[in-house]
Amino acid sequence: MKMSFRWFGHQDPVTLEKIRQIPGVGGIVTAIYDIPVGEVWPYENIVALKQTIEAAGLQLEVIESVPVHEDIKIGLPTRDRYIGNYKQTLRNLAKAEIPVVCYNFMPVFDWTRSSLDYELDDGSTALIYEEEVIERMNPLSGELKLPGWDTSYEDGQLQILFDHYQSVPEEKLWENLAYFIQAIMPVADEVGLRMAIHPDDPPWPIFGLPRIITNRQNLERLIGLHDSPSHGLCLCSGSLGADPSNDVPEMIRYFGAKDRVNFVHARNVKWTGPRSFQESAHLSSAGSLDMVEIIRALRDIDFAGPIRPDHGRMIWGETGKPGYGLYDRALGAVYLNGAWEAVTKERERTNDYKLNK
């Protein structure tokens, strides 16, 4: 696997120089953040981004994300123009030799949490999701801003979006996703891009909005929309694993056997209720997910793609973008690499034993 790290560009206090010092990290996951959603990413901008990363001694492994315009998700007549722009962006990314593109199909809001700075028992702070808090919130009030939420909506725009989604139940969202997939994936096949859809986070409806990339059954339905390894998954352990009924290692083995795991987000969560959880340190004992078994599943499918430590705690007094501090994610990267080395040597010893028996 290719251990990578999320970087938010020149405004990110976590610099490329710091990332390069994390043992075993050679890849960068990033995006172009100053182009309006739905517009074409110019080839020159992509190349400049790639050259900046390579000048720091790293490789641009994944673009995360090329956002999908809400008109596509809703199914408005304007969607074809935005899909055309999306296809051109994919062509430009492929021309610049970018191997993987991550995206999601979550209506209105990206990943969602009820608090940014919940204090854990060890004194660190973490992102948490409490169902009872979310249920009391009014998403139109502006009372909570989170990294990943689009805060660029002007007055009244969110209400208009919510009004549109009144006519988009779950099956209609599936139809709109299928329309999008069947339009863009032939381009991905043509230019050699591997697309990776991120699961909904959390993997259930919020604020009355449908969410459909949530479990094995729906992931199976998703990959059935286009028969190609270009049409794959970003297997996010923390997003899928927030639902205790999702068996993340089993999903990795199942979809990995179909060559559909194109990117991995590795993150642990601690369940605090049926639909409530805290983000935790990566190691297995810190949360509810068996991270070693997750890494073993990746080893079992001989995963050779990019992986990154996902959201981390804020530790040692670090400030900045919640969930995206340097220190805990660096610890996570080293831990994940150590687990990979351990399960790899475990396999080698087992194979040697079988050969010598």
What radius of gyration, in Å, describes the C-alpha atoms of the chain? 20
Q: Is 245 exposed, middle or buried (0-12, 13-18, 19+ CB in 10 A)?
A: exposed
CATH: 3.40.50.720, 3.40.50.150, 3.20.20.150, 3.40.50.11750. Which one for 2-356? 3.20.20.150
User: Cα(6)–Cα(128) distance, rounded to whole angstroms?
Assistant: 20
Residues 6+ away with beta carbon under 8 Å from 147: 321, 322, 323, 324
pLDDT tens digits, one per residue of 219-230: 999 999 999 999
Strands 261-266 and 269-273 come out as unpaired
Residue 175 confidence (pLDDT): 98
CA within 13 Å, CB half, 125? 15
Q: Is 91 exposed, middle or buried (0-12, 13-18, 19+ CB in 10 A)?
A: middle
User: Cα(41)–Cα(85) distance, rounded to whole angstroms?
Assistant: 8
DSSP3 helix / strand / coil % (the chain, rounded to 5): 40, 15, 45
**DSSP at 314:** B
Is there a contact between 41 and 32 (Cβ–Cβ < 8 Å)?
A: yes
Is there a contact between 269 and 295 (Cβ–Cβ < 8 Å)?
A: no
Residue among 308, 219, 232, 215 at smallest CA distance from 267:
308
Which sequence positions are flagged as catalytic?
198, 236, 265, 310-311, 324
Which tokens sit at 243? 């639902």
CA within 13 Å, CB half, 71? 14
User: Cα(160)–Cα(165) distance, rounded to whole angstroms?
Assistant: 9
User: Please, which residues bridge with residue 263 across strands?
Assistant: 234
For the chain, give every domain's residue range: 2-356
- Please tell me the total number of residues recorded for the chain in this structure: 357
Q: What is the pTM of this model?
A: 0.95
pLDDT below 50 — which residues of the chain?
148, 150
